[in-house]
Chain A
Amino acid sequence: MVKKVLNFLQVGVLATSSYVTSIVVLLIIIFLFNEGAGVFTKSLLEEGFVIAVNKSNKLNAISPKDIKNIFDQKITNWKQIGGDDNAITLFSIDELPNFYTEEEIGSDFEYMDTCINNYIANHPNVLAYFPERNVAKNFQGKMIKVGTLGVFEFVKGKEWLPTARPVAQLGILPLLLGTLMVSLGAILLALPFGLVTAIYMAEIAHPVARKVLRPIIELLAGIPSVVYGFFGLIIVVPIVQKVFSLDVGETALAGSIVLAIMALPTIISIAEDAIRNVPNNMREASLALGATQWQTIRSVVIPYSKSGIMTGAILGIGRAIGETMAVLMVTGNASNMPTTFLQPVRTIPATIAAELGETANGGLHYSALFALGCILFLATMALNLYVQLALKKRNR
């Protein structure tokens, strides 16, 4: 009886363990999306600050974009955002001494709240931006609701300025483009060289050469990405800078080159395995028909191992999209819209790694980085699922 219970318990432990990975994937989804969703619900206004207008103003809410434009002086009249035809008077707390004397404000700023209150009450066209703690008890102005970020603005916004004041700019288009450029560039560089090397090792090279190369390539697949990043920083970045005579060598191209070098070992080993899985009698049949070795490789071996090679390529893309440290070290991390490969870019993983350390836990910026994490997770998950479905089909 005891033995049976023990037996049952042991199998239970085994069974529970096997569900850990599924639970973790589920938890990742829950936590990432839970934190990331905050980017669409939290106020874009700098934390602890409010925007208020005179009571006579008929507007109750202003979109974040309009607020930014007002502060950039692109919108100067209330009419432009649906108010009356009056010029907007901007007011921020730094300007208080321009309107009130030191005595009125008080030596310890004790009457500051009243002054702000008076200013807003006396200026019908004011738009005031000041700390929440300076809202007077008998506040006579009207608080303006600042809308939240829309999904569309998030994806199509061209500015990533998460700490901008008064409203944060959270457009991820430059980051998306940066990620795509760097990883596609890497794959375009790595695929031809990787596949050729794999074919060479599997079909052409002397078996001894293969025996020597294989462990070296396995070793290089295991080298940490920071080491590749360091190599890129010291060797690749200066070369890129010199060859294209740039001001800075930290560019999308440098990122692509470093990522390509990193991806080579993976692509080579997966593709080589796929090529070596081609049955030998296929090769022999082709050779027996009078085809040369090259013709056999081109028209028998490569077509036969195509899906395996594709798998390697797609997994390589997934790796490249998610790679963080090496890219962070060599791409310069400028979050402007990328136009060429010869300018600094910033990728999604690099953004998370560079900025998460400086965010307030639970704040808007924190949520925005988790939302980036969600995008990254979904993209790699989609590639992963595609590969696995393709593999399953092939195995059938």
Chain B
Amino acid sequence: MMIGNKKLTQSIFFWLFRIMSTVVVLVLLTILYFVFSRGISTISWDFLTKAPEDGMVKGGIFPAIIGTLYLIGGSLLFAFPIGVFSAIYMHEYIKKGKIKSFLQLMTNNLAGVPSIVFGLFGMALFVNKLKFGDSIIAGSLTLGLLVLPVIIRTTEEALKAVDDNYRMASYAMGASKLYTIKKIILPIALPDIITGLILSIGRVSGETAPILFTVAAYFLPKLPHSIYDQVMALPYHLYVLATSGTNIEEARPVAFGTALVLVMIVLVTNLIANGVRAYYHSKYKK
């Protein structure tokens, strides 16, 4: 009787878990289905390569794609070297202690700052104080600060994964610390560092709040000429189309297409990152 009870409780709970998990997975899949099924009919070569027309209800999203590419490039150009250097110093140079835990604490704190606060900060510092105005450089720096902790964290994980024996062997040969890092540790950790870089592309491309007041333009048919120009960007474009366009209902197809492009960027960067990781890990195991 006892055993029967135990088994019964177990199967009741397992079924409950199964049902709830299925609900969760279905809801999550619905979102992907929603974006793909409604967006796919909008996507065409013209959509990707033409400027918006007719009050943004027709035409393409080319300026927004270009703007987002500029922002990805600009922010990573700034955040990637600093992030990697920072992780190298924190992991390879500082011994465990107060300074190290302070630096890690601050990095984690920065990671927890809400994206709208980055927007406020970017506006106060880059746009107003440094007088960059609404510009690619202001937006890129703001986004760069936002992904900096992400890059530091992934690089640290990558460095942690490097077997200590490599370090010891290199030192035993008389190599200096810097030489060991450059010639031994970084090459081994590189695939994982690159994975982190690729994943942060997905993050940068989708952030809206930080660019609202630092770079994003409502409508700009022209492409930017310098880093002090404003640009359109995909996530802001989607927000505008969905909420404040002149003709919201007619703009729906373009909005769905834009949403699909955004999701595709995340999907593709995820796939590439996983691919890089899997490829190098299988290579090292051999």
Contacts and interface: CB of A to CB of B under 8 A. Distances in A.
Contacts of A223: 31, 206, 262-263, 266
Contact of B120 (A193, A352, A381): A352
Interface stretch (B52-60, B107-115, B162-170, B188-196): B107-115
A20 B82 contact: yes
Interface string A214-248: 01111110111111111101110000000000000
Contacts, number: 244
A213 B25 contact: yes
Contact of A17 (B24, B31, B89, B178): B89
Given A32-B121, A197-B24, A222-B202, A18 B103 contact: yes
Nearest to B274: A215
Given A17-B86, A31-B121, A227-B263, A384 B208 contact: no
A380 B105 CA distance: 14
A388 interface: yes
Contacts of B34: 231, 234-235
Given A226-B206, A231-B31, A264 B18 contact: no
Interface residues of B, number: 85
Interface in A106-131: none
A81 B126 CA distance: 45
Contact of A199 (B17, B81, B106, B109): B17
Interface stretch (A163-171, A316-324, A337-345): A316-324
Main secondary structure of the interface of A (DSSP, over half): helix
B239 A19 contact: no
Interface string A188-204: 00001110110111001
A248 B68 CA distance: 34
A222 B266 contact: yes
Interface in B201-250: 202-203, 205-209, 212-213, 235-236, 238-239, 242-243
Contact of B148 (A24, A199, A361): A24
B41 interface: no
B88 interface: yes
B6 interface: yes
B175 interface: no
Q: How large is the interface on A (under 10, 10 to 19, 20 to 34, 35 or more residues)?
A: 35 or more
Contacts of B17: 196, 199-200, 204
A18 B14 contact: no
A35 B116 contact: no
B27 interface: yes
B121 A27 contact: yes
A25 B207 CA distance: 19
A370 B28 CA distance: 35
Contacts of A192: 20
A104 B239 CA distance: 53
Contacts of A18: 85-86, 89-90, 94, 103
Nearest to B12: A294
B235 A226 contact: yes
Given A15-B89, A18-B90, A224 B235 contact: yes
Interface stretch (A5-13, A67-75, A134-142): A5-13
A385 interface: yes
Interface in B73-125: 81-83, 85-86, 88-90, 93-94, 102-103, 105-110, 112-117, 119-121, 123-125
Interface of A: 7, 10-11, 13-15, 17-22, 24-25, 27-28, 31-32, 35, 192-194, 196-197, 199-201, 204-205, 213, 215-220, 222-231, 233-235, 261, 264-265, 268, 292-295, 315, 318, 321-325, 328-329, 349, 352-353, 356-357, 361, 369-370, 373, 376-377, 380-381, 383-385, 388
Given A31-B120, A231-B34, 6 more contacts: A199-B17, A224-B266, A226-B242, A329-B239, A353-B116, A384-B109
Question: Closest 9 A-B residue pairs measured CB to CB?
Answer: A322-B114, A224-B206, A17-B85, A294-B10, A384-B112, A14-B89, A22-B106, A18-B89, A200-B21
Interface of B: 6-7, 9-10, 13-14, 16-18, 20-21, 23-25, 27-32, 34-35, 81-83, 85-86, 88-90, 93-94, 102-103, 105-110, 112-117, 119-121, 123-125, 128-129, 145, 148-149, 152, 176, 178, 199, 202-203, 205-209, 212-213, 235-236, 238-239, 242-243, 255, 259, 262-263, 266-267, 269-270, 274
16 contacts: A17-B83, A17-B86, A27-B125, A32-B117, A201-B21, A204-B17, A224-B205, A264-B28, A268-B24, A295-B10, A322-B113, A353-B212, A373-B116, A373-B120, A377-B114, A388-B105
